[in-house]
Amino acid sequence: MSITLHQFAYSHFNEKARWILDLKGIDHRHETYLPGPHMGAIKKLSGQAQTPVLEADGKVISGSSAIIDYLETRHPQPPLYPTDPEHRERALEWQREMDASLGPDVRTLLFSALVNEGTYLCNMFGGSKGLAKRLAYRAMFPIARGVIAKGNGVTPDNVARCKTSTREWLDRISEQAKATGYLVGDTFSVADLTAAALLAPIADVSHPAMKRPRPIPQSVQDILAINASHPAIEWTNRIYDQHRPA
Ligand SMILES: N[C@@H](CCC(=O)N[C@@H](CS)C(=O)NCC(=O)O)C(=O)O
């Protein structure tokens, strides 16, 4: 049965889906879209506009947590959901909260710099496309810039709020992982996968799925520098080293 992940390069919500597919060793292919022009095809496929979308067994599943749930049920090894029901509920609650808050807030922080770095942004998301598509995408950027900023919550007040909220998440994650190295119990779970994937853009992890093009513009480096020495950033890199398959 063929499995296709409809995705954006680099996106941290998409990284959650890439990670579980790789972790479970599930044979699959990627269909990579340019953010913006993706809209028609993704809406037609799934009835909504966001990635990731998984096509598997004749079904279409939208959203990273629904994709994880679907794959976890059909491919239970290695497990991402703790067996203990209370631990499982806690791990899923961490995922729910981080999907709703940490993910969008980290994205806003990054986009507050990326909206001023059109060439870099187009390389990040369009790097796998041919020259003609990349040039057309870059040419569209000045027109699309306002929509990209709005869609990613880039206003001065919201960026300030996201700085604070991201810092609070980092504190909470490092505090929680202090005892065992993991967020729930003493093993890697969906909570750790979600936290590490959603923090990957500011942890600047070296895994090929999330390593951004070099050189990194100064404005993006400035965003990374805000939390670079936080223990949760080191934790994210350790989780990647130990649990994210190549
Ligand atoms: N809660 C969703 C969030 C997905 C999401 O925000 N996807 C973004 C990319 S990171 C997207 O597709 N944005 C394009 C759009 O909204 O049109 C999930 O967990 O998958």
pLDDT at 1: 63
Which candidate, 10, 31, 246, places its Cα nearest to that of 127? 10
Domain layout of the chain by residue ranges = 4-74, 85-243
Q: Kindly tell me if the per-residue pLDDT of 238 is higher than 80.
A: yes
pLDDT tens for residues 1-55?
A: 699 999 999 999 999 999 999 999 999 999 999 999 999 999 999 999 999 999 9
pLDDT at 244: 98
Distance between CA 133 and CA 113 in Å, rounded?
Answer: 23
Residues forming beta bridges with residue 7, ordered by sequence position? 32
pLDDT at 127: 86
Q: Does 1.20.1050 match the CATH number of domain 85-243?
A: yes
Distance between CA 76 and CA 69 in Å, rounded?
Answer: 10
pLDDT tens for residues 50-84?
A: 999 999 999 999 999 999 999 999 999 999 999 99
Whole-number mean pLDDT of the chain?
A: 96
Ligand 1: lining residues by beta carbon, under 6 Å: 8, 11, 13, 35, 49-52, 63-65, 99
Helix (H, G, I), strand (E, B) or coil at 53: strand
pTM, two decimals, is 0.97
Same fold, 4-74 and 85-243: no
Q: How far is the CA of 52 from the centre of ligand 1 (A)?
A: 7
CATH code at 4-74: 3.40.30.10
pLDDT tens for residues 119-161?
A: 999 999 998 899 999 999 999 999 999 999 999 999 999 999 9
207, two tokens:
């895994």
